[in-house]
Every structure is written in structure tokens, then in C-alpha cells.
Amino acid sequence: MDKLCKYGTHRVIEPKGVLPQPAWKIDNTPKIYKNEILIDVDTLNIDSASFTQIEEQSIKEGKEVSDIILETVSKRGKQHNPVTGSGGMLIGKVADIGEQLSGKIDLKKGDKIATLVSLSLTPLFVERIDSVRSETDQVDIEGKAILFESGIYAKLPDDIDDNLALAVLDVAGAPAQTQRLVKEGDTVIVIGAGGKSGLLCLYEAKKKVGQNGKVIAVEFSDEGIERVKEVGAYDEIIQGDATDPVELLEKVENVLDGEMADLTINCVNIPSTELSSILVTKDRGTIYFFSMATSFTQAALGAEGVGKDIDMIIGNGYAYNHSDIAINILREDQAIRNMFQRIYT
Amino acid sequence: MDKLCKYGTHRVIEPKGVLPQPAWKIDNTPKIYKNEILIDVDTLNIDSASFTQIEEQSIKEGKEVSDIILETVSKRGKQHNPVTGSGGMLIGKVADIGEQLSGKIDLKKGDKIATLVSLSLTPLFVERIDSVRSETDQVDIEGKAILFESGIYAKLPDDIDDNLALAVLDVAGAPAQTQRLVKEGDTVIVIGAGGKSGLLCLYEAKKKVGQNGKVIAVEFSDEGIERVKEVGAYDEIIQGDATDPVELLEKVENVLDGEMADLTINCVNIPSTELSSILVTKDRGTIYFFSMATSFTQAALGAEGVGKDIDMIIGNGYAYNHSDIAINILREDQAIRNMFQRIYT
Ligand SMILES: NC(=O)c1ccc[n+]([C@@H]2O[C@H](COP(=O)([O-])OP(=O)(O)OC[C@H]3O[C@@H](n4cnc5c(N)ncnc54)[C@H](OP(=O)(O)O)[C@@H]3O)[C@@H](O)[C@H]2O)c1
Ligand SMILES: NC(=O)c1ccc[n+]([C@@H]2O[C@H](COP(=O)([O-])OP(=O)(O)OC[C@H]3O[C@@H](n4cnc5c(N)ncnc54)[C@H](OP(=O)(O)O)[C@@H]3O)[C@@H](O)[C@H]2O)c1
């Protein structure tokens, strides 16, 4: 066996030498090494871009969603979607703590936690899938997962339903980055505004832009528009298709009198929305791509192709305090809490 | 025919409704519409990540590089590498200017220009490939290209060899962004430092960090190390493989006494170097991914996976003045000019 590594390279099977995230296959044996934490898993929250892809595949190939998940986990030792490359996260109870960590971390056996590292690098051993909840991308299982020494986690709060916390923590990076990126007076466009991360971003953006700023919600479906209205954190709503850049640009120009966004936040769960994001952003503006369906080359070459000098940021799922920021939105805003409670629990 | 569009959607064949860059196939008929510019192409500069892929394919499939290029162009109407998604740029002479643009732009027939938009969106009609220069990723052709109304270009300077200008303009975004991102006193790591963009980034970084800053060059091959030394714009050199994150981190920690980079600039031409870039960057530091071989999900999930709160920027090929900034380096620095002259002309 390799030397124990805080990043978990000792569990990498193929190819050797890489970290667990890019690895094709990792060792999911549900028995911990000295620097690991064992988790009794209750529920997986599959990343939205990944879940959307799995559902499409399930229809196309006539397979169950649960079978596709089991197949991936048995092939790779982790729920790492081979098509989208993305994962998700999980909640469960601490079952065991390796002796090198015991006493040095604020966890004890039995604590309920959410892992804040992606499923795409988390060794996962599934005994049984109990239920797949398509509306929420959540999957209840019997099984075990391993958290590496470098892995981050959050203890689940007492005042919030577990599945609700799981849903919100899945996208905790988005509102945290929104807090950082939005400046007073900014015009902010959130694309995919009626989704889970979109609504949280709308809320944080609306708080930060102040009286002189503007928050524009772009959503596709009627249901999404209803969700945006129910939460109410916006100045304008545009119903439109983010895969049609020219049409969306026209709609934005209409609403903003030809102006464009200082900051665009992309929260969709489908591919091919890079150019829309680029066109609606002003020169020297910023795009925050939270969507896991973003293509690096489409973004880089798309901006160059239309001669737009903008900063484009890759949505890092982690930011200091992101779990607190996200959970606190549920404490601060009753409208979001009510809706999320309805949808996710 | 669709309405003429400044972004060139009127040339999109498949799928309809998207812009020319993400389009699978565009119309490369070498006859301009009223809002287009026709170019008599001399030389293509294939993007390095794309050229590397084409060469690998040529060996694997026993085909000529030129045949693979002709195949792509005939299938797609543009030199848009279907595997890497990237393009490159070209130089040529203005052959015709559409009547809607004539007199409104600073070009006349016969002017020598470089297109500063990617080949991945430029309609290209190839009559013949004259020569493929593998050492420089340059391909001399007979053919025509179309520049859209929104397309950017630079007139070729008189004091610099055309092929040298072409080589440098291909990566002009990198030194321009380096100028913006580097702050006085920063520790900057350039990965792939001995390549074309890497050397230009080293130079700009070294100028900006000042006395209290540090520039670390990371390169793989002996030849690359020699190029870095010849240019001389560095404080430390590390020879290492950026696809091996754990080993590279160790080497960086040795050189920096356990410290890490404020800013990491990734200029490699191969996949799977995201995690190295992440590990060698300090918390709240920044990574500028110029490499077109960057995977969005590997970067986003990689950072989350190791709990690093860093900002990761997608290398937009365009920035204000980027062509002047890049060309000026050749005027300012004799060492770079001499080397590039030797390599690219
Ligand atoms: N960077 C990270 O670390 C990280 C972490 C977690 C998740 N993510 C990614 O973040 C994204 C959003 O996640 P989520 O959980 O918030 O997803 P979600 O709840 O499914 O929301 C996606 C939203 O996008 C909207 N949308 C779909 N197609 C659209 C179109 N053509 N035009 C405009 N809007 C459209 C959807 O509208 P409908 O109402 O029509 O469905 C929905 O409101 C996903 O791609 C996910 O993979 C990233
Ligand atoms: N974002 C944009 O708009 C844009 C525009 C143009 C180009 N690009 C991209 O920028 C990148 C660099 O372009 P370029 O023209 O500068 O390429 P280049 O001259 O080929 O340089 C690439 C460098 O990376 C080094 N390298 C290769 N494998 C390595 C490894 N395992 N570890 C460390 N270094 C390694 C190479 O070293 P060796 O000496 O061993 O080969 C070489 O010095 C490419 O990916 C290209 O596609 C982006």
C-alpha cells in the first residue's frame, strides 16, 4: 500500500499517481485507514447537471436511474458521472474515525454531517438504493463513504431538516461567491434564476446591489418563473432560453435599455449557455460560471470570438464559510425556506 | 438567407440558432456578404493544444497532419478541432471589404492582417496546403477566410517578421492578462514556462512583481528549461511534470520553504494539469488557466476536493490592447526576440 496521503491518493487504483478526483477508479473498500473518516450514508444529492444527464440516459437506454448509479459506483468506486464529470454530495452519520484524526477534529461517532467535497472524489460503497427522488435529485441509500483527511464537511444544524440542509449545502459555493462578487450599484443577471442555486444567488445579489443596483432573473420555464416570483428577490424577470444567445441578448437589451450586466451568474443545469452569458455581460464585466455544464473552450473562445474583454470565473464549489452563508439564508428568509421546505423535504 | 448578423450567425449551417463558434458546421463559401471581410490566407497558426492532438492522431491513424486539417475544414467549414474544441488564428491579406464596412474601418485591400478571433469560428476555405511546420504549429496554405463584423484583427507591424508576429499574436491574451493580474510583491508560478505563452508570461510577471516578488518557472523538458534560462526572466526554475500534482507540490514547497503562489499561470498544452495548479496556489490566491486543455469540471471539483478557496479564471483570448502588449515585448526584450525569431521564422 502507498503511504497514507491527506488527499487520498492511497485509494487511487487507476491511473496511478493522480488524485482521487481525476482518477478513473478508486478503492471503495468500506474500512478506514488511520487518516480517514467512515460515514454511514443516508442520502446522496446528485449534482443537477449529472442527474439531468442520468435521467436522459435512463430514458434513452430504458434503464432505471438507480441502475445507472449502481453501475457508475461499481465501475469507479465513486458516484463520478463519466459524461458530465460532476458528482454531488451526501449526508450521513460518522461511523468511525481513524486514529490519526481522532481527538484532533470536532467530530465524534454518531454526528450527522454533510460532506462538502464532491462525490466525484469520495469513495462510496452502496449496499442498496432505497429510493430515487427525481424532483430533488436526492437518492436514499444504504452504504458507506470515506472522507479523506483534507475533505471538508459540515455538521448538520439542529434547526433545519436534514434533506433541506443537504439540498442547500450542495450549492453552497454559489451564494458565497455571489456575496463576494457583487458590488453596490451593480447590474447583476442570474441565468437559471429559478433553480436551487439561482434563487440563493438572487437573494444574495439583491441584498448587495442596494438601491442603485439591479438584479435581473433569467428563467426558462413557467414553473421557474413562479419560483422566482415567490421568492421575490429581483428587479426584473426575463423568460428566455439561455441556449439562444442572440434572442436572449435582445430581451436583455429591451429590459436594460441597451445596457448590460456588470456581473452575470450562470446557474443552469444544461450545456451551451456560455455565449448567452458572454453577450449579456458588459465589457470589463465578470461572469461567474457555477454551472457544471460549462465548457472551458466554449467560454474562452466564445468571448474572444465576439471581442469581449470580460473576466470569466470557474465556479469553485468551496469558499470559506460557504456552508454557514447558505444555511443562514434559510434562517433569514422565510419565503426561500418555505419553498425549499416544500420542494426538498 | 438569414438577416446579416454582426456575429456571423447568417453563416451557421448546423445547428441553427447558435453562434459560429459553438456551431458544428458553418458556411465557408469564399464570397463575402455586405458586412464581412475577405482574407487571402497565407498561414494558419494552429492552437498548440489542437496541434498536439492532431499530431498524436496522425501517428495513431497513420494519416498526414495536412489531411486531418483538410478533413476538419471540409466537415465543419472551419479549422475547429473536434477533440480539443480549440482553433488558432491566421495571417493574410485583405482581399475584399463588404460595402457596409468599407470606409468605416481602418483597413484597405492589400493590408496584411492577423485575425485575433479564433479559427474555431472563422469560415475557412482551403484550396491547398503548401507546408506544415511542426516545430511552430504553423501551416502555409492557399485559401480564403471570412472575418465577421464583430471580429477583431491587428495590422501586421512593419518592424517584425510576419510569422513571428503570427506566433506571438496567437497567445497575446496571456501576457496581457498577466500584466493585469500580477501585483507587486506577488509570488507567481508559471506552469509550462518554456513554451511560447509561458515565456511571455514570465517576462511580464517578472516586470511586475518587483524586488519583493518572485517568479517561479515550472517546465517539463530539458529544452524548455534551456529556453527559460535563455530568456532569464525568473527567480527559480523547477523541472517537473505538471500532471503529477503531489510531486510538483513537493518541489514547489522545497523551493518556496513551504510557501505557495499568490498567482499561478497555466500555459501547458496537455490535459490533466488542473490539480497541480490548484495545489501550488495558496488559499485566496488566483489561477489563470490559459491552457486550452483545461477541464472546467476538473478545476471546479478539484479545488473543492482539496478544500482550496481560490479564484480560477478562464483564459479569455482577448483583452484590450493585447496585440500591442504582446508585440511590444518583442521590441522591449532582445533575448525573447532572438529566440522567437530563431524558432518561428
Ligand atoms: N460549481 C460547483 O461547485 C457546483 C456545485 C453544485 C452544483 N453545480 C451546478 O450548478 C448548476 C445549477 O445547479 P442547481 O442545483 O441550482 O440546478 P437546478 O435547481 O436544476 O436549476 C437549474 C435552473 O436552470 C434553468 N434552466 C434550464 N434550462 C434553461 C435554459 N435553456 N435557459 C434558462 N434557464 C434554464 C432551470 O429551469 P427549469 O425550471 O426550466 O428547469 C432551472 O431553474 C448545475 O449545472 C450544477 O451542476 C455546481
Ligand atoms: N486561452 C486562449 O485564448 C489561448 C490562445 C492560444 C493558445 N492557448 C493555449 O495555451 C496553451 C499554451 O500555448 P503555447 O502556444 O504557449 O504552447 P507551447 O509553446 O507548446 O508551450 C507549452 C509548454 O507546456 C510545457 N509542458 C508540456 N507538458 C508539460 C508537463 N507535463 N509539465 C510541465 N510543462 C509541460 C511544454 O514543455 P515541453 O518543452 O516539454 O514541450 C511547453 O513548454 C495551449 O494549451 C494553447 O492551447 C490558449
pLDDT in tens, B8-42: 999 999 998 889 999 999 999 999 999 999 999 99
Q: If you ran DSSP here, which 8-state letter would residue B227 be given?
A: H
Whole-number Å distance, alpha carbon A181 to ligand 2 midpoint, is 30
> What are the tens digits of pLDDT across the range B221-232?
999 999 999 999
Beta strands, E only, A236-344: 236-239, 261-266, 281-289, 311-314
Query: Which helix (H) or strand (E) is B177 found in, with range?
Result: helix B173-181
- Per-residue confidence (pLDDT) for residue B17, from 0 to 100: 80
Interstrand relation of B261-266 and B187-191 (parallel, antiparallel or unpaired): parallel
Whether A114 lines ligand 1, by a CB cut-off of 6 Å, is: no
Residue nearest (by alpha carbon) to ligand 1 atom 27? A268
B82 CB near a chain A CB, below 8 Å? no
Chain B 306-325, residues with CB within 8 Å of chain A CB atoms: 306-320
* Residue B2 pLDDT class (50, 70, 90 cuts): low
Instruction: Quote the pLDDT of residue A336.
Output: 98
Angle between helices B196-209 and B222-231 (to 10 degrees): 40
Q: What are the average pLDDT values for consecutive 10-residue runs of chain A, which has 345 residues? A: 84 91 96 98 96 96 97 98 94 97 95 96 98 96 97 95 94 97 98 98 98 97 98 98 95 96 97 96 98 95 92 96 97 97 93
Here the ipTM equals 0.94
Q: Is A49 in the pocket of ligand 1 (CB under 6 A)?
A: yes
Which chain B residues contact residue A151 at CB under 8 A? Answer: 305, 307
Closest CA to A279 of A296, A259, A255: A259
Report d(CA B276, CA B162) in Å as an integer.
36
Question: Using CB atoms and an 8 Å cut-off, which of residues 42-61 of chain A contact chain B?
Answer: none
What does the mean pLDDT of chain B come to? 96
Region of A112 on the Ramachandran plot (φ > 0 left; ψ -120 to 50 alpha; else beta): beta
- What is the per-residue pLDDT for B3? 82
Q: What is the pLDDT of residue A2?
A: 57
Q: Which residues contact B339 (CB under 8 A, 6 or more apart)?
A: B199, B227, B230, B231
Residues in chain B with CB shorter than 8 Å from the CB of A84 are 297
Q: In the prediction, which pLDDT does A3 show? A: 82
Q: How far does the CA of residue B230 sit from the closest CA of chain A (Å)?
A: 31
Among B20, B295, B313, select the one facing A311 at the smallest CB separation.
B313
Over 80: is that where the pLDDT of B259 sits?
yes
- How does pLDDT run across A257-279, given as a tens digit for each residue? 999 999 999 999 999 999 999 99
Q: Look up residue B87 and give its three cell numbers.
A: 482553433
Q: What is the pLDDT of residues B65-112, one digit of tens each?
A: 999 999 999 999 999 999 999 999 999 999 999 999 999 999 999 999
Give the model's pLDDT for residue B160.
96
